[in-house]
């Protein structure tokens, strides 16, 4: 996407051919900073501290992390250590495990001397595929927006989204945002409600920032305002992203998504989830039990960071001393609340048969619940 006049992605190989460049998302929206990653440990830290975040970008960064690791040491043990280091960074987004499996498959049978180059080739493919996949998601999602727009006689289509499933969460275009950017670029009247997404405010700080840069009309709302807006007919559809989708279509996404789905269901507002196929975990059927839900540090909830009137970035405490704090990062929306899954192969129903039919090559794996796990 464009930052000012410059076409940008969220991650790239630096001109030295030996390091990565990323946009440091922890400094947005008030500071636009580029950070260079030179080692596996740099990549692991960038994922853990959320300088890079969002399921598809986490997977892509991990893939490049394997490349950097193999540049330093291409031995089998080093490859295993690198995978163990990266998979331990964050537990919920399945794109991380998917990317590591892809990278291992791409290099494990190669002579050591060829491994780093093969890893770079595969990581580059994963990045390119992510962009093409999101464009396809954009085209399929655009049809949904166009149908609603046709009924609105020129009035804006109001889309509500949660967290950031934008180009900042992917290599480019985003998942939930791709249809929004395509509709906007096509001149469809459109407006986005961006839920702030406490505690890390991905909606208020990242989604608003990227929509603003693209000129898409938007309004930042408190997370708890979504239900009220739906109840009063101010929302035409909800589009969110996903960190893991099970074989039966249960969707794990940023904490608070489930509450939006309940409100959408109660108010008959279409609720769509946009995702690339690497986000589907066919090993799991039932989402509320089997998906690991990340719990992050308490200070993400007990403090908040922002810009002071004189431009300084400050973090302040908002919770009284001594209060217990819990910080769940994700929740699961059961398939029955989902109007459709917007994937690179089209809009499909959130059920086992439709997912298996759309992705037969991936659906072959036997779900954990069917296997006697040792």
Looking at the Cβ atoms of 144 and 240, the one nearer to ligand MRU is 240
205: DSSP letter:
I
What one-character-per-residue DSSP string does 93-140 give? Answer: -THHHHHHHHHHHHHTTS-HHHHHHHHHHHHHHHHHHHHHHHHHHHHH
Looking at the Cβ atoms of 149 and 205, the one nearer to ligand MRU is 205
Looking at the Cβ atoms of 88 and 105, the one nearer to ligand MRU is 88
Q: Shortest approach of ligand MRU to residue 178 CB, angstroms? A: 9
By CB under 6 A, tell whether 208 contacts ligand MRU: no
Indicate which single residue of 243, 290, 331, 344 sits in contact with ligand MRU (rule: CB under 6 A).
Answer: 243
By CB under 6 A, tell whether 59 contacts ligand MRU: no
Q: How far apart are CA 14 and CA 194, in angstroms?
A: 32
Looking at the Cβ atoms of 248 and 257, the one nearer to ligand MRU is 257
Q: Shortest approach of ligand MRU to residue 22 CB, angstroms? A: 14
Interface region with ligand MRU, contact rule CB under 6 A, candidates 48-56, 59-67, 101-109, 281-289: 48-56
By CB under 6 A, tell whether 175 contacts ligand MRU: yes
Q: How far apart are CA 184 and CA 212, in angstroms?
A: 12
Characterize the bridge pairing of strands 271-274 and 237-240. parallel
Q: Is 259 helix (H, G, I), strand (E, B) or coil?
A: helix
Report the candidate in 329, 42, 227 with the shortest Cα–Cα distance to residue 11.
Answer: 42
How wide is the angle at C-alpha 176 spanned by C-alphas 173 and 181, nearest 5°? 50
Where in 77-116 is the site for ligand MRU (CB under 6 A)?
Answer: 93
Distinct helix (H) and strand (E) counts, the chain: 14, 18
Q: Shortest approach of ligand MRU to residue 115 CB, angstroms? A: 29
Q: Which spans of this chain sit near ligand MRU (rule: CB under 6 A)? A: 53-56, 93, 163, 165, 169-170, 175, 202, 241-243, 253-254, 329
């Amino acid at each position: 996407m464009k930052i000012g006049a410059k076409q940008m992605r969220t991650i790239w190989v630096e001109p030295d051919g030996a390091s990565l460049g990323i946009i440091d998302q922890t400094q947005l929206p008030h500071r636009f900073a580029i950070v260079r990653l030179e080692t596996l440990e740099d990549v692991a830290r960038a994922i853990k501290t959320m300088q890079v975040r969002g399921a598809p970008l986490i997977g892509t960064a991990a893939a490049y992390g394997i490349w950097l690791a193999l540049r330093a040491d291409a031995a089998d043990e080093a490859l295993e250590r690198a995978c163990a280091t990266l998979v331990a960074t964050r537990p919920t987004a399945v794109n991380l495990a998917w990317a590591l499996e892809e990278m291992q498959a791409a290099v494990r049978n190669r002579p050591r001397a060829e491994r780093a180059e093969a890893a770079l080739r595969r990581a580059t493919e994963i990045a390119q595929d992510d962009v093409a996949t999101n464009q396809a998601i954009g085209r399929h999602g655009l049809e949904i927006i166009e149908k609603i727009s046709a009924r609105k006689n020129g009035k804006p289509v109001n889309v509500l989204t949660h967290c950031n499933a934008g180009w900042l969460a992917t290599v480019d275009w985003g998942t939930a945002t791709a249809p929004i950017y395509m509709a906007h670029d096509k001149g469809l009247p459109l407006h986005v409600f961006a839920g702030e997404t406490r505690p890390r405010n991905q909606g208020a700080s990242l989604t608003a920032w990227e929509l603003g840069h693209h000129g898409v009309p938007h309004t930042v709302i408190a997370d708890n305002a979504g239900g009220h807006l739906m109840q009063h007919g101010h929302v035409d559809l909800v589009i969110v992203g996903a960190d893991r989708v099970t074989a039966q279509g249960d969707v794990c996404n940023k904490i608070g998504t489930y509450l939006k789905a309940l409100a959408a269901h109660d108010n008959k507002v279409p609720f769509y989830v946009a995702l690339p196929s690497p986000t589907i975990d066919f090993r799991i059927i039932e989402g509320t039990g089997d998906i690991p839900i990340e719990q992050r540090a308490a200070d993400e909830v007990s403090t908040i960071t922002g810009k002071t009137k004189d431009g300084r970035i400050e973090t302040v405490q908002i919770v009284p001393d001594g209060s217990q704090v819990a910080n769940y990062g994700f929740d699961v929306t059961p398939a029955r609340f989902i109007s459709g899954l917007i994937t690179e192969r089209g809009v499909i129903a959130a059920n086992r048969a439709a997912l298996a039919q759309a992705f037969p090559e991936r659906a072959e794996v036997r779900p954990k619940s069917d296997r006697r796990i040792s």
